[in-house]
Amino acid sequence: MKNYIPIKQLLVLVCSTFLTNAIFAQGALTFPPSGDNEKASVTQWIGLVKVNVTYNSPDVTGPQGNDRTGKIYGTNVVPYGFAEDAFAGKAIPWRAGANENTVFYVSNDVKVEGKDLPAGKYGLHMAPGEEEWTIIFSKNYTSWGSYSYDEKEDALRIKVKPAESEFNEYLTYEFTERKPDNTTVALKWENLMVPIKIEVPNINDLYIAKMRNDLRNSAGFNWKNLRDAAEFCANNNINLDEALTWADLAITRPYIGQENFQTLSTKSKVLGKLGKETDADKLMAKAVDHPTATIMDIHNYGRGLLNEGKNEKALEIFLLNKKKHPEDQFTPNVGLARCYTAMREKKKAIKHWEVALQNIPEGQKPNLAYYEGELRKLKEGDSEAGK
């Protein structure tokens, strides 16, 4: 006779087992943060690179309401150096915040105070000092405080100088400098700040890589995107061989390529950066003469030549613009006035400013005072006016 468990007993056993497992599977209850040190997070982008600091924020007043102003640094609140800790059983750095690890995240490889730090998440620890602080980026970022800090897990150590700051009741992290290729994140608490500079070397390479990938998708089905990518490379004098390919595709790619002033002038610019000046000049002449070249296209090209110090070539372009657009007595004359000023031909410059001002369009009248000022400088003898 086979052994078996009656169905009722089986159901009771299954339910009992399920309930027991469910109880033990539950996590800890959620309460307010320890010491009322609220969690905070700040993010700053350096171009395509995301930088984030997530931390718990203590206050100067303290959990018992006691004012700790002037008693934060070099005390048991924020000890100097590596301080002996009874719980840890060793000397440990400060957690750079409260409660769990302060977590520093960067989406791409960066340099921190000039030293390499790979992309990733790091536990941020600090060893404060009166004159200098050691900043530690640990590969372990999931611990509570610095109690389990292990020097072997260091990804990077740097040294920075602290500085005075405005009073901050709550410990905070703030991005105090924001540049195209770098930022500075500073810990601020009480009257002290600890700045850390983060740089993205060769940031334009990231943009190029992103553009390259974008152009493999639907963005590559538009001549403007191909042209813009090539223009970016030319303006930054990078990735020129591929830029020339993009510039060609903007003109000739089946179904989407267009020959117009923008595509021709961009290809000319790339050729010039590649040192192919003769080819560049021929193509730019074609661009300027193209039916799509507007009066402002030609004017801006002339201004660009002036900025490069190519005054004679700029004069040719401004004269051509005047010839092609006799109906506009403002823009071509402004161009000629600027060009003759740069060439120190004062009388001609004054003549063209006067004609331009007599024919100023409604949309340019908000700039009238500026234009009149340029003319006045010339008449008063300022040879630098209008440059």
Closest residue by Cα to residue 317 from 328, 332, 330 = 332
Task: Render pLDDT for 7-35 as a digit per residue (tens, 0 to 9).
Answer: 545 444 444 544 445 444 456 788 887 77
Lookup: tokens for 7: 């169905």
Which pair of tokens denotes residue 25?
A: 């599977």
Report d(CA 81, CA 125) in Å as an integer.
11
The two structure tokens encoding residue 72: 């934060």
Which whole-number Å values give the CA distances from 315 to 120, 206, 349, 375, 377, in the listed order? Answer: 54, 39, 12, 19, 21
pTM to 2 decimals? Answer: 0.80
Domain boundaries in the chain?
A: 34-199, 203-379
Q: How far, in whole angstroms, is CA 308 from its chain's centroid?
A: 28
Q: Are 54 and 40 in contact (CB under 8 A)?
A: yes
Largest CA distance in the chain: 123
- Please state which CATH class domain 203-379 belongs to: mainly alpha
User: Residue 23: what pLDDT?
Assistant: 45
Give pLDDT, residue 28. 73
Residue ranges of the chain whose pLDDT lies below 70: 1-27, 382-387
Residues 6+ apart with CB under 8 A from 8: none
pLDDT of residue 66: 83
Angle between helices 223-236 and 240-252 (to 10 degrees): 150
Distance CA 349, CA 352 (A): 5
